[in-house]
Amino acid sequence: MHSKVHREGHRPLVLLAILVVCASGAAAGAEADEKETYRLAHLDYMLHCQGCHMTDGSGVEGTVPPLPGEVGKFIASPEWRDYLVQVPGASQALIDDEALARLMTWIVRRFDPENAKDLKPYEPAEVGRLRSQPVTNPTEVRRRIIEEIQGSAAEE
């Protein structure tokens, strides 16, 4: 009897130990998934974006907008969020919707972390919908969206 009571007394501790091991394993798995997501998005950036936006995201003055400190500046605006996927370079990238969603989330977080703090990650279905409505005049649309955002901010 003593041995049965002794074993049952340790049962909560054993269960707690199992939970801690499982949780740390899940955390390590999540960290590995995050590293792989980062690696894949960075690779897609190198293959599909950095030819115009450059390695550091600086772009080309007058033709390709810079990304650092800019790409997420208006991310709270649904129209701006959509625009980032609808520009020709993104909407026509030769990657699937899941990869583009991962890439767009990575770009905003990588090049504009200050403005990306509340970024809701792009979803593949969202990206697929937006890709079917590409922007054909990105410079004009970008200018209009920024003017509207800044105009509504000035009114507040």
Q: Where are the extended beta strands (E) located within 2-151? A: none
The pLDDT score that the predictor gives to residue 12 is: 57
Residue 97 to residues 22, 90, 136, Cα–Cα distance (Å): 32, 10, 19
Q: Which helix (H) or strand (E) holds 154?
A: helix 138-155
Residue 6: the pLDDT is 54
Q: Could you report the average pLDDT of every consecutive run of 10 residues in the chain (156 residues)?
A: 55 50 53 85 95 96 93 95 96 97 97 94 98 94 94 75
Dist CA 84 CA 120 (whole Å)? 14
What is the distance between the terminal CA atoms of the chain, rounded to a whole angstrom? 74
Rounded CA separation 123/128 (Å): 9
pLDDT at position 91: 96
